Structure 1
Amino acid sequence: MPDHGTPTITPGREWALLILGGIVTVLVLVAAAWVLFTPRAANTPEAEPAARPVPTATPEPTAVTAPTAAVAPGTPKPASCTDIYSPEMEDAFGDLVLNPEWTTEPGADVRDGADDPDLLKIIASSEHLSCRWVSPDGASGSGVFTSLVWVTEEQAAAVETRLRALGFECYEELEGLRCITETSSDTDTAGQSHFLRGGIWLATQYVNAGPDGYTHDMINTIWAGA
């Protein structure tokens, strides 16, 4: 019968067990060292995401002023209405006077050398002199109203185009362009005379007044010596 006592370990098997045990021990020690000595990330709170930059208020755009349109070089620049008439013309008006005080009062019944809205816009938006020969006592049924307007080439062309469209008779005169119209009745004579030369527009309205040669006198005085 076989012997069932304690099994006998042979020397070869004993060595194998010792080697296997040593390997296990080494692995355990390596694992322990890795756990003990491997550096760990600091236990810091998660960094807050960078805050979005708060947009600053958009600055108001700098107002850009359109440059004043330049008139043609050498354009005459009378300082006042008295500089555009000869002494003879001033005497020819008789009882009418130049720019009496009442013409500057709010709501004064005066004219500006034109009655067309498009032409009046150009006068109002441009540098100009308002020269009005009227009664010294207030509005009446007679007077001569001239606006001396400094204009650019583009404005002068627009004025000419508008005058022709309105049916004015236009022709060349005294180195410029003259456009006229007139209406008459049994009691009144009214009309307009416009003259364009260089950078100047002479816009004139008249009602029952106006000495002969009025526009020619202004041209010869303004461009004296030209």
Structure 2
Amino acid sequence: MGAATSPTGSPSRRPLWFALGAVGVVLVVALIVVLVVWRGGAGTPTSSDTLPGTRPTPSSTAEPLAVATPAPAAAAGPRPTTCDAIYSPTMLATLTDTSALNPDWTESDPSGVLFGTSDAELTTLIESVEHLTCVWADPNGGSGSGLTSNVVFVSADQLEAAHQRLLGLGENCYEELGGIRCVAETPQGDEGIAGESHFLRDGIWLATRYVNAGPDGYTHDMVATIWAGA
């Protein structure tokens, strides 16, 4: 008999090819997984997806927001409407005994007695807002005595501006009666004395200027009357 011929494929190599084939399948699957992950898990498009080279367009033009302008805050304190309402009956009787309230000659600007301060900056502030003017003077015309009080209705910012201006003028300011009191007086001279008294509280500024006039307790009486019961 002749020598036996060996089969084409060696049995000892079959397991090796089988193993290599299995490894190849695993590599292919791994490659597919890597590609999917690398592309960000692309699959079902979301609502934010757009075509390449395009951008979403708003459906309509946005209207500008309306910004409301806050109205100035109303004065927090009382609001007297006449000069008679800022004095007690006793003080009103005392003032009436020696002078007249708002005599006709004081109504004209040249009279120079319409404001409870001699400072131009404070006078401008008084003129710019609502206020009462209470002048006690000789009914027959200008004389060497009299006083003027303005009841000025101001915002919190205006009240503080008046306070700072009074401090800048060198007036003596201190806390009193629930508010701020500022006073200044000239030394006694041949023509007597002159001065100013200011009181600031709750949206009201009481500005008083006097020349050889003003009963004791004048400002305190106004405060007690205007803020009665407060």
- Is the shorter-chain TM-score for this pair beyond 0.5, marking a shared fold? yes
SS of the aligned residue for 1:185 comes to: coil
Instruction: Indicate if the aligned counterparts of 1:71 and 1:153 stay in contact, CA closer than 8 A.
Output: no
- Residue 91 and residue 105 in structure 1: after superposition, are their counterparts in 2 closer, same or farther (change >3 A)? same
Per-residue deviation at 1:186? Answer: 3.0
Residue 133 (1) aligns with residue 136 (2): yes
- Match for residue 83 of structure 2? 81
Q: Which residue type is aligned with residue 119 of structure 1?
A: L
Query: Given the alignment, which residue of 96, 100, 103 partners 1:97?
Result: 100
Per-residue deviation at 1:161? Answer: 0.6
Per-residue deviation at 1:86? Answer: 0.9
Instruction: Using the aligned pairs only, state the percent identity.
Output: 52
- Match for residue 118 of structure 1? 121
- Match for residue 217 of structure 1? 221
Q: Aligned equivalents of 1:109 and 1:151: distance in 2?
A: 23
- Match for residue 191 of structure 2? 187
- Residue 100 and residue 212 in structure 1: after superposition, are their counterparts in 2 closer, same or farther (change >3 A)? same
Query: Given the alignment, which residue of 131, 147, 152 partners 2:155?
Result: 152
- Residue 119 and residue 97 in structure 1: after superposition, are their counterparts in 2 closer, same or farther (change >3 A)? same
Instruction: Indicate if the aligned counterparts of 2:147 and 2:213 stay in contact, CA closer than 8 A.
Output: yes
SS of the aligned residue for 1:217 comes to: helix
The two structures, once aligned, show a CA RMSD in angstroms of: 1.6
Instruction: Indicate if the aligned counterparts of 1:168 and 1:179 stay in contact, CA closer than 8 A.
Output: yes
Per-residue deviation at 1:90? Answer: 1.5
- Residue 118 and residue 68 in structure 1: after superposition, are their counterparts in 2 closer, same or farther (change >3 A)? farther
Q: Cα deviation per residue 1:182-217 (whole Å; 9 max; x = unaligned)?
A: 012133110000000010000000000000000000
- Residue 67 and residue 110 in structure 1: after superposition, are their counterparts in 2 closer, same or farther (change >3 A)? farther
Q: Cα deviation per residue 1:162-197 (whole Å; 9 max; x = unaligned)?
A: 100110000000000000000121331100000000
- Match for residue 5 of structure 1? none
Q: Cα deviation per residue 1:133-157 (whole Å; 9 max; x = unaligned)?
A: 0011111110010100001010011
Instruction: Indicate if the aligned counterparts of 1:111 and 1:205 stay in contact, CA closer than 8 A.
Output: no
Q: Aligned equivalents of 2:148 and 2:71: distance in 1?
A: 26
Q: Return the index of the structure with the highest Cα Rg.
A: 1
Aligned residues: 160
- Match for residue 205 of structure 1? 209
Q: Which runs of 5+ in 2 are unaligned?
A: 1-68
Per-residue deviation at 1:72? Answer: 3.2
Q: Which runs of 5+ in 1 are unaligned?
A: 1-65
- Residue 105 and residue 187 in structure 1: after superposition, are their counterparts in 2 closer, same or farther (change >3 A)? closer
Return 173-182 or 96-105, whichever deviates more: 96-105
Q: Which residue type is aligned with residue 201 of structure 1?
A: W
Per-residue deviation at 1:104? Answer: 1.5
TM-score of the two chains, using structure 1 as the length reference: 0.67
Q: Aligned equivalents of 2:108 and 2:190: distance in 1?
A: 32
SS of the aligned residue for 1:122 comes to: helix
Per-residue deviation at 1:103? Answer: 1.6
